[in-house]
Amino acid sequence: MPALANKTYFNYGGQGPLPTPSLEAITDCWRQIQELGPFTGEVWPLVERTMAALRQRLAGWMGVSPARLAFTENVTSGCVLPLWGLPWRAGDQLLLSDCEHPGVVAACRELARRHRLELHELVVRDLVQDQEATDAALLERLEGALRPRTRLVVLSHLLWNTGQLMPITRVAEQLRGHANQPWLLVDAAQCLGSIPVAEAAAAADIYACTGHKWCCGPEGLGVVALSERLLAEARPTLIGWRSLGHEGSAESAFHADARRFEVATSCLPLFAGLNRSLELLEAEGEAEQRLERICALAGRLWRLLAHLPGVEPLLQVPPPAGLVSFTVDGPTPEALVQSLGARRIWLRSLDDPHCVRACSHITTTDGELDQLVAALAELIPQP
């Protein structure tokens, strides 16, 4: 990973570094396209083979059939395109957690304005206890927040700010018992390549992922898993030739499967690059094995931070995945991140809650954790 040379990197939750084999897969695909001709009869088997290989691999990762997967550019488009195609009625209510990404929140607000929907909030930011307590509190709060006209619940699988894990499969089960059976939209930006996703992706109505974070794939390519009932009820919104069952005719019906939410031309080499990154992750063990390594590193960092004067982790227990968020006394999160960057240690600050976030992946080392903690000890005023 060239991006890891001469620096200590903790920003996998923003964008993962691209491995050299993935970069080579991208450039090799570009070369093949140009040698065959970018729009010739000979290039189409390469296009179909490359896209089908990635769709099949992702179906295995996400525990759904390939027919339930649509390729997108990113998590936001994966959330918004099917969401806006659902049959809304004035007065329908949307229930959003208070830890959703601003991009998804803004899309829901505009959807509500256009269709005269109501927005309600589900508080989850303060759920910082162990997993059993978090799950119980979340399900109790959800039951109390649901209303007769609730039509959608928006809840991230792994909260991008606090790092807490949400019980998506249990939430989906609870919603199925509601008289209105609300749709469940899951922002899984921090999940694919980080935690096992198959059960949650199979249970949600919209489960949107990206390849450029924990998968360490190229930016500009994501995937969304859609439920059978959503495919039966939702209509495409942004429409192009790939939405159609027969691309050569505007009279053609839309694809019967999730491809109806694909739009038009995508950058094929990105598919080759992401597929290679997923292969590399598979070579490091099953998803549960990789998560165990991630949690061991994140847990060690959490414990080191918890014993460092002037630092307080957001979670009261070691994190369930690789996101470790914390507050500091003295410098602002932005100033601290800038000072660490000057030492070639890269984290990020978050606005809400106002904190610093570090991410540990399977590529992270104990030495890098020690380096970060030593730098923090020097930069944070001691009592």
Query: How many other C-beta atoms can be found within 10 angstroms of the C-beta atom of residue 335?
Result: 13
| Cα angle value 156/157/158 (rounded, 5°) | 95
Q: Which helix (DSSP H) or strand (DSSP E) does residue 353 occupy?
A: none
User: Model confidence over 292-334: pLDDT tens digits?
Assistant: 999 999 999 999 999 999 999 999 999 999 999 999 998 999 9
User: Model confidence over 238-295: pLDDT tens digits?
Assistant: 999 999 988 777 777 999 999 999 999 999 999 999 999 999 999 999 999 999 999 9
**Residue among 361, 358, 213, 357 at smallest CA distance from 293:** 361
* Helix and strand element counts for the chain (H, E): 12, 13
| Confidence at residue 275, expressed as pLDDT on a 0 to 100 scale | 98
The rounded distance, in Å, linking the Cα atoms of 194 and 196 is 7
The rounded distance, in Å, linking the Cα atoms of 34 and 254 is 31
Q: Going from the N-terminus, what domains does the chain have, and what CATH number goes with each?
A: 29-280 (3.40.640.10), 285-379 (3.90.1150.10)
**Residue among 241, 292, 287, 293 at smallest CA distance from 264:** 241
Residues 110 and 85 sit within 8 Å (Cβ to Cβ) = no
Per-residue pLDDT of the chain (383 residues; tens, 9 = 90+): 999 999 999 999 999 999 999 999 999 999 999 999 999 999 999 999 999 999 999 999 999 999 999 999 999 999 999 999 999 999 999 999 999 999 999 999 999 999 999 999 999 999 999 999 999 999 999 999 999 999 999 999 999 999 999 999 999 999 999 989 999 999 999 999 999 999 999 999 999 999 999 999 999 999 999 999 999 999 998 999 999 988 777 777 999 999 999 999 999 999 999 999 999 999 999 999 999 999 999 999 999 999 999 999 999 999 999 999 999 998 999 999 999 999 999 999 999 999 999 999 999 999 999 999 999 999 998 77
Helix boundaries (H) for the chain: 20-36, 44-62, 75-83, 102-115, 131-145, 168-176, 198-203, 228-233, 268-282, 287-306, 333-342, 366-379
Would you put residue 28 in left (φ > 0), alpha (ψ -120 to 50) or beta?
Answer: alpha
| Confidence at residue 381, expressed as pLDDT on a 0 to 100 scale | 84
Q: What is the number of residues in the chain?
A: 383
β-strands 118-122, 93-97 pairing: parallel
The rounded distance, in Å, linking the Cα atoms of 70 and 59 is 10
| Confidence at residue 246, expressed as pLDDT on a 0 to 100 scale | 84
Looking up tokens 């847990």 gives: 299
- Rounding to the nearest 10 degrees, give the CA dihedral for residues 277, 278, 280, 282: 170
